[in-house]
Structure 1
Amino acid sequence: MSSNNNNNNSNSNSNSNYNKLDDKILKIEQDIETAVPFLASDEKSSNLKEAYDTISNTTAKQQQQHQIVVKPWVHFVAGGLGGMCGAIFTCPFDVVKTRLQSSVYKELYVSSTINSKSSVTNVLTHFKETCNILQSVYKNEGPRALFKGLGPSLVGVIPARSINFFTYGYSKDLLKQLDYFRGQESSFLHLLAGINAGIVTSTVTNPIWLIKTRLQLDKATKKEYKNSLDCIVKIVRKEGIFALYKGLSASYLGSVESTLQWILYEQMKSAIHLRSERHVKEGKIRTKFDDAADWFARSGAAGFAKLIASLITYPHEVVRTRLRQAPTENGKAKYTGLIQCFRLIIKEEGLASMYGGLTPHLMRTVPNSMIMFGTWEIFTKLFSKF
């Protein structure tokens, strides 16, 4: 028994010595790692320490960059500038889309695109039809006709995008303060912020969009409106002040599109950010090229999000345009409400007509979203420095 006790004590002492030795080795390794920047000459040690500091500071900045809180006014101004740039570049497609959605131009633009051919053939035919209409408008009505409604469009786009980006960003900031979200973003938070932004934007800007639609549908052979102001006066005089809010119910329905776009965009943007963080953790030093690539990726994500959202919710665009059309010659409106409009269009023209003008709509909105969100991000970073 005494021999066993002695052996146990010996083993215990040995293990204790080994543990102390391991602790000393670990301490030495830590001291060496801390002293590395200072082991060379003064000049070399200074440069080496600066390199260590630069790497650590860069990593910290990249980790904090995604968490920077942007002031509400920055969203407001940057959103308006982004919307303006997108609207100017894509206005001709907006004119074609509006005319294809309207029943007024049904006889002029007879679509042969909805048939039994393959979907690929139909897409190509839609694209050809859109180009033909652009050429026809340019030839018969002049180049200025391709930018009909641009004035009220800009008057509408700038405040609409300003309000939308401002309301969305501000709603996110407020919602994150609730105990339910605890400062964390989620798809549900993006959903609530998107709905709020869509409702506020639609309510404020509906009269502007109605005027823009009337001007774009105004035929060159029989012009009814001289300009935006003349359009407002005649609408109020003939149809009443509430006529300026025709199509508002369809606009509320359309807020689903912008909400869905925000949700998809936020998810893809988060994935791009996580990929960048993973590269940093792997020791890759970011360059300006990486920053530019991420910016293009986020802009592309905005366009792809708009594509998916538009395909899902497009019929509301057609209904909204029909509700905003001018009354017939006898003074009676053909389309009087959201449900009535849906039913009448499907009954008279078929379900396929609910997708009239889809091709020019996508040709306009997808690049428009890419330009708008890309410009918004640039100006957001620029104004955030003030």
Structure 2
Amino acid sequence: MSDALINGLAGAGGGIIAQLITYPLQTVNTRQQTQRDLKKEKRKFGTIEIMRQVIKQEGWERLYGGLTPSLVGTAASQGVYYYFYQIFRNKAEAASLERMKKGIGDGSVGMFSSLVVAALSGCVNVLMTNPIWVVVTRMQTHTKIPKKSQPGQTLSVSPDETVFAASELPPFGTNHAIQEVYDEAGFWGFWKGVFPTLIMVSNPSIQFMLYETMLKKLKKRRALSRNSGVTAIEIFLLGALAKLGATVVTYPLLVVKSRLQAKQVSTGDKRHNYKGTSDAILKMIRYEGFYGFYKGMSTKIAQSVLAAAVLFMVKEELVKGARILLTKDGIDTVKSRPP
């Protein structure tokens, strides 16, 4: 089994576990990002308050709306990303060794090369998996409303939405979300938000650059002091720190992407309808101010930092375990051969 395939499968496994742990926070964050509150509207809903409202008004299962396609998307995204990351990383390492033979550099992959490798991997991942995340966003932000309401059934949760008792809600699954996206924008609707998402490859690029730089320095210090290797807890903390730095820098792009992928308002207030990335940015600045680009940031930081930390820790342990198993199998095979 190739090293790229081991990393791809380990990344998918780590991503699924991280997603299961942090998914309710992700759902709340997506709803916060897509709330179209105007400047004059003062009401702001915190993470815990939104979570309580969703549970009370729509049922606790709505916190896991879109979980199935999200798990598929996470497995696909992490698998694709880590697979191509390892391939591009191997090529970068080979190129560095060739330069060292010519007397250039020390043979290691520099910070800029790591950034390029992560960016290329991210672009491949975005282009291949964007349709999945459009469907997930629709399912996370969908507020189920029955065709007819009875007095006393409604509860106002935001300036432009009304939700109903969970028992009265019609079903809305993956197939409904796919059909809704197709009816609204056709085939290319599944690539809504791809432009800001492609720009957002800088997030994992920055994340991996920070992570690998910190990990490299820590390993070097351990080697000099002749201490044991890097522990799982240290990997957890490095992953958290790297993701925190990347999230703070790129969060506004994530909000724009969510706005574009959520259901557009085709009638009524045109301030809530976005024709594209630039239109969304201009309308958000005009009607919501710069605060609109940072809605739900605290929730996102908590969710993404925890998810990244779990992902890195689980992935490294899975890669380590796979290599041990493969090495053991190789030794056992050699021992079992007849003389």
Using structure 2 for the length normalisation, give the TM-score: 0.81
Query: Residues 336 and 180 (structure 1 numbering): CA distance in 2 closer, same or farther, change over 3 Å?
Result: farther
Tell me the equivalent position of 1:242: 188
Per the alignment, residue 122 of structure 1 pairs with none
Matching of residue 147 in structure 1 with residue 64 in structure 2:
yes
Q: Do the aligned partners of 2:144 and 2:172 also contact (CA within 8 Å) in 1? A: no
> Matched residues in 1 for 2:189 and 2:171: separation?
16
Q: 2:300 aligns with which of 354, 361, 377?
A: 361
Deviations 1:57-89, CA, capped at 9 Å, x for gaps = xxxxxxxxxxxx971110110000000000000
- 1:379 matched to 2:303? The reply is no
Q: Does 1:277 align with 2:201?
A: no
Q: Quick one: structure 1 residues 142 and 82, their matched pair in 2 at CA, closer, same or farther if it must change by over 3 Å?
A: same
Rg bigger for which structure? 1
Matched, 1:193 2:117: yes
1:120 maps to: none
The AA in structure 2 aligned to 1:189 is S
Match of 2:18 among 70, 80, 86: 86
Determine if the alignment matches structure 1 residue 175 to structure 2 residue 175.
no
- What corresponds to 2:234 in structure 1? 297
Deviation digits for residues 263-319 of structure 1 (CA, Å, limit 9, x no counterpart): 000011112211211221xxx5x4xxxx5x622112211111100110011100110
2:275 is the alignment partner of 1:327 = no
Structure 1 stretches lacking a partner, 5+ long: 1-68, 114-125
Q: Is the 8 A contact 1:70 1:384 kept in 2?
A: no
Residue in structure 2 matching 1:315, options 252, 267, 273: 252
Moved over 3 A (4+): 110-113, 179-183, 222-225, 329-333
In the TM superposition, what is the alpha-carbon distance from 1:155 to its structure 2 partner? 1.1
8 Å contact kept, 2:145–2:170? no
On the 8 A contact 1:101/1:357 being kept in 2, the answer is yes
Residues in 2 aligned to 1:181 and 1:144: alpha-carbon distance in whole angstroms: 56
Q: Name the residue aligned to 1:253.
A: 199
User: Aligned partner of 1:252: which letter?
Assistant: L
| Greater helix content | 1
Amino acid at match of 2:34: S
Percent of paired sites with the same residue: 25
In 2, Cα distance between equivalents of 1:344 and 1:360: 24
Q: CA deviation at 1:154?
A: 0.5
Aligned position for 2:131: 207
Name the CA distance, whole Å, in 2 between partners of 1:225 and 1:237: 18
In the alignment, is the contact (CA less than 8 A) between 1:302 and 1:369 conserved in 2? yes
| Number of residue pairs the alignment of both structures matches | 292
Match of 2:332 in 1: none
Q: Does 1:228 align with 2:174?
A: yes
Gaps of 5+ in 2: 102-106, 147-168, 327-339
- Opposite residue 157 of structure 1, the aligned amino acid is T
Written as runs of structure 1 = structure 2, the 5 A alignment for 1:3-18 is none
CA contact (8 A) 2:122 2:201 kept: yes
